[in-house]
Amino acid sequence: MPNSYLSISFFQRRKLKLAALIMGAIIWALPLITQAQTAPINDTPNFEGVLSLDQPIKTLPNITINYDPQIEVGKAGIFDASGTILPPEYKTVIYKWDFGDGDTAKGAEVVHFYNQAGDYTLNLSIEVDGQPYEQKNIAIFAYEKLYFLITDQFDQSEKISSLIKFAHDRGSYVELISSYESASEFLTEEELVQKLNESLPILQETNEIIIWTRGSTGLTLLSRFNQTLTDKSVFENMQFVMITDQRFIPVRNVAEGTFRTIKPVRIILTRSEALWMFFEQDNIETFINELDQRGIAYEIVDKVQKITFLNFMSYLVSYMVEKGVPSNSLLLVLMLPVIVTIVAFFKQVIGLTTMGVYTPSIITLSFLALDIRFGILIFIVILLFGSLTRLILRRYRLLYIPRMAIVLSIVSLTILAMLLLGAYFNISQLVSISIFPMLIMSTMVEKFVNAQAEAGFKQAFAMICATLFVAIICYYVVEWPLLKTIILGHPELIFAFLGVNVILGRWTGLRLLEYVRFREIFRYTEEE
């Protein structure tokens, strides 16, 4: 007997399949439809933790208060609890405020004035339909004077905390702008400028700012921060106290440049022992008188010296900063003659074989931008993966240019992987570093590969180690706070390095390492 299914035409078979699919869908959906029809309908919305009015009220942590934890004495403080989420079924909601100084108020948003400085505990209790619902306590500090403290002195963090507590006990509030994580002053300046931008509303309420940073970082960051402001008159009524342990002469030159740029009332240079005394005085005038009485050294910058042949570069630097050129970029440019002179000394006098003068100089600048710890790590990782990629590609006998393109592509992926690891492990210093110095260091791979092809791996490795050593020495010399202050305060000194290089260029004697290398010959000559 013939198979009846096979005798059906093609279109009929398609119709049978479609019908079977529809029937299967109906059979699958039928239990769901039946369950939906038989399920009880509940029109009451389900609020988690919300009870009906005939049940006792339970405490729910839903109070939201917008407020400023620090309030100046005699000024209005706004306390807003209207953002508190309450179930819509409640008809009557009462907000009761107890400000901790004997005054009370009612309302979702209230205004209060504190008449005396001190710490207060503010209590907000909420009643719904005549029953207690929730309450919350917050700490409020009412201050008489507001100060700004800008610092990167991570080794003085305990002293700074004690200083802030001392000011707090005397009814003063200190807004701390700090950077303790970065070892590089260039990265520190970046972070402090960003924090100043975030604290601009508070900054505009004070007229006395304390600066306690390494070298002249605090002064240069003020000039840079002023460039980001649309209102250039923010600092005009302010007075600055700069704490420094360096000689006043170079710091004063930097302070004069900052004074020309931001135009404050004055900048006072003094020592760290004056900090405690500063918070004991009512105003700057009594502070200066107390400095005289106690014999603490200080200088006041409240005017600018006239331009002369000896300080014309300082005026040019201040002019460029005032017109928007970043101060840290200018400092890097001014430091470049110092860096190349150090490299020339190590090559010409010491006798180290580095990859030219440009390579250690650019690595030093990259370390300044990346921080020395991460700079060395990134440098080693880039060279390691670049060398491994070169070894793997040797078996494929590729042409030089495509091979180097592959090597640099692998290096870029390595940089991407390091950024990913920094994001995964929440290493903020690695995530926030600039990408351009990393890319600049990646070009060292090509130089290292070329050195291996020309002189062999051992010679290339010794050369890259010498280059890294010189770059590290240059980094620590350039990061010397006193040198940075002198160069920024007296940029005319860079012309002196031209003379130093002329002297190095006329060096005709043996290099120091050559005395070590040929010591056997010298010993034999002496015996003869």
User: Closest Cα to residue 191, out of 207, 213, 215?
Assistant: 213
pLDDT tens, residue order, the chain (528 aa): 444 444 445 444 544 454 455 455 544 444 443 443 333 333 333 323 333 333 334 444 468 889 999 999 999 999 998 888 777 777 788 899 999 999 999 998 999 999 999 999 999 998 887 788 788 899 999 999 999 999 988 888 889 999 999 999 999 999 999 887 665 667 788 888 889 998 998 888 898 999 998 878 888 888 888 888 888 888 988 999 999 988 888 888 888 888 888 889 999 999 999 998 999 888 899 999 999 999 999 999 988 777 776 778 877 877 777 676 777 778 888 889 999 999 999 999 898 988 888 889 989 988 887 778 888 888 888 888 888 888 888 888 888 888 888 988 888 888 888 888 878 877 766 666 666 677 777 778 888 888 887 888 888 889 999 999 999 999 999 888 888 888 887 888 888 999 999 998 888 778 888 888 777 776 776 655
User: Closest Cα to residue 504, out of 352, 341, 358, 359?
Assistant: 341
Report whether 335 contacts 474 (CB < 8 A): no
Report whether 116 contacts 142 (CB < 8 A): yes
C-alpha triplet 133, 135, 136: angle, nearest 5°: 155
Structure tokens of 43? 């029109």
Helix or strand or coil: residue 237? coil
Tokens 């919350």 belong to 136
For the beta carbon of residue 509, count every other beta carbon within 10 angstroms: 9
Report whether 105 contacts 112 (CB < 8 A): yes
pTM, two decimals, is: 0.70
Q: What is the 3-state secondary structure (H, E, C) of 299-351?
A: EEECCCCCCCCCCHHHHHHHHHHHCCCCHHHHHHHHHHHHHHHHHHHHHHHHC
User: Closest Cα to residue 226, out of 321, 148, 137, 146?
Assistant: 321
- Distance set, CA 208 to CA 17, 251, 434, 447 (Å): 86, 19, 33, 52
Pairing assessment for the beta strands 109-113 and 76-80 based on DSSP bridges: antiparallel
Question: What are the beta bridge partners of residue 138?
Answer: 122
Phi and psi at 191, nearest 5°, equal -65, -40
